Amino acid sequence: MKKACVLAVLVAGLAACITMAPPPPSFDIENPPAAFSAELSLDDRLAVEDAWNALRRGQTEKATKIFARLGPENPFYFAGLGYASYVVDDLASAEERFLASIKAFPALILGHLGLGQVYQKANQPERAYREYLEVLKIDPNNARAAKEAEAIRAQMIEDLMTQAKNFAAQGNAEKSKESYLKALEYSPKLQEAHLALARIYLKEKNFEQASLHLTAANANDPKNQALLTDYADALFQAGQLSKSLDAYERLLEIDSKNKTAMDRAENLKNRLGVVELPSQYSAIPGLAQVAREDVAALIGAKFREVLDQANPQPPVIVDITTSWASRFIIKVAACGIMDVYSNHTFQPNKSITKAELAEILVRLIDFLKKRGVRLVEQIPLDRIKIADVPRESFYFLPIVQAISYQIVDLAPDKTFKPDQPVSGREAMKSLDILSGLIK
């Protein structure tokens, strides 16, 4: 009995002398980045390593004393103290110290990683997400930041989608839209959110906004016929007729027997006055030099509406029967934009020079002005100097006028090269510029 009592006293005494190690902290702490450690002295590197091990063991007092000796000039000072505060749940102090770390050493990821953990623990996922994104900006391969950011993003999307559906069920369309749009900030291609928003906007008859989300949804799933139909209809309702026609034609490519799409496409073509252009038209941009029929077709297609309003008496032309651009040639010749020669030929295959194109463009401008289109010269005529076109040249005035509207250009050396052939791309550019001036 006496021996047992003595043994009990000894065990109690030993227990009193033993210092119990605190449990390790419930957080991950990144190793000090090698790029920063390499700049330290050996003693400081060993001190930082010792402090970091102390933090991992939860020995915050020891770690704090080591960082105090190292001082604020050490790159790990503020971040280390931030983690010391975090371990003991002093989140306000941890936040302050991690912010100080970021301010003092912007390229050190530890401050952002620490703040991410602080904000997660404080149930502020959006702020935590932003901090992890900052880490990935500095270190795109940081596995921890990538994992945490993706986990937060997935949870935020799930929560926001649930909120949006609940608001919709309660009849609160504005709050529902707000949550869906917030979800799209985290996942711009989230199909469910785009479709839900489109349905809300369609119900509100806000066809412009509906078409925006249907555009995004259609880009994600371009062969979905039901989606493409809604998209085309929303564009039609929003007054975006050309885009609507394009959507209906894409729908017909998927289902050529879709009668609704056929009827709507035909209706839109009639409303837009769409002319089916021959395949030769689409080849014009790639031509090294354009012919008269090419230029006639470009003018006829790009200025169709104004030309159709004129409806003058067509001239007699004897050599365009086999030209693919015959209907355009008749129109531009009748309007006096391009000449028919005295022998009633148009010479559709004759190449156009830069000087001849300038004259045609000026004639087109005169025609448009007579039809009430307001066009203003951009450069005064007397300020335009051309090095290779004499004033007595027949083409001098039309070239100067075309330049004054900035629909043709001079070379850097002030030359125009009037006899040089015109490429398809050059002809289209000049006519596109002029078309843009009247819109």
User: Which string of DSSP letters, residue by residue, matches 306-342?
Assistant: HHHHH-PPPPP-SS-TT-TTHHHHHHHHHTTSSPPPT
- In the predicted structure, residue 185 carries a pLDDT above the cut 50: yes
- In the predicted structure, residue 5 carries a pLDDT above the cut 50: no
Tens digit of each residue's pLDDT (9 = 90 or more) over 50-69:
999 999 999 999 999 999 99
Domains of the chain with bracketed CATH: 34-140 (1.25.40.10), 195-272 (1.25.40.10), 279-437 (no CATH)
Question: Which tokens is 416 given?
Answer: 């125009």
Q: What's the whole-number average pLDDT of the chain?
A: 88
pLDDT, residue 275, reads: 57
Rank 200-204, 368-372, 422-426, 431-435 by mean pLDDT and report only the highest: 422-426
Tens digit of each residue's pLDDT (9 = 90 or more) over 324-338:
999 899 999 999 999
Nearest to 323 by CA among 307, 343, 346, 301: 346
pLDDT, residue 207, reads: 84
Q: What is the CA radius of gyration of the chain?
A: 38
- In the predicted structure, residue 418 carries a pLDDT above the cut 70: yes
Residue 268 binned pLDDT confidence (cut-offs 50, 70, 90): confident
User: What would the mean pLDDT of 392-418 be, rounded to a whole number?
Assistant: 92
User: What would the mean pLDDT of 76-84 be, rounded to a whole number?
Assistant: 95
**Of 142-156, 237-251, 422-436, which range is least confident?**
237-251
pLDDT, residue 243, reads: 77
**Of 37-51, 213-227, 377-391, which range is least confident?**
213-227
- In the predicted structure, residue 15 carries a pLDDT above the cut 60: no
Tens digit of each residue's pLDDT (9 = 90 or more) over 125-150:
999 999 999 999 999 999 999 999 99
Q: For the chain, what percent of residues have pLDDT higher than 90?
A: 60
Please count the CA atoms within 13 angstroms of the CA of 429 that sit on its side-chain side: 11
User: What would the mean pLDDT of 340-358 be, rounded to a whole number?
Assistant: 95
Q: For the chain, what percent of residues have pLDDT higher than 70?
A: 92
CA angle 270, 273, 274 (to 5 degrees): 95
- In the predicted structure, residue 4 carries a pLDDT above the cut 70: no
Three-class secondary structure of residue 280 per DSSP: helix
Three-class secondary structure of residue 406 per DSSP: coil
Residue 27 binned pLDDT confidence (cut-offs 50, 70, 90): low
- In the predicted structure, residue 10 carries a pLDDT above the cut 70: no
pLDDT, residue 276, reads: 60
Instruction: Please give the biggest Cα pair distance in the chain.
Output: 141
Three-class secondary structure of residue 346 per DSSP: coil
Residue that has been written with the tokens 């529902």 in this structure: 176
pLDDT, residue 294, reads: 95
DSSP 8-state symbol, 383: G
**Of 147-161, 176-190, 299-313, which range is least confident?**
299-313
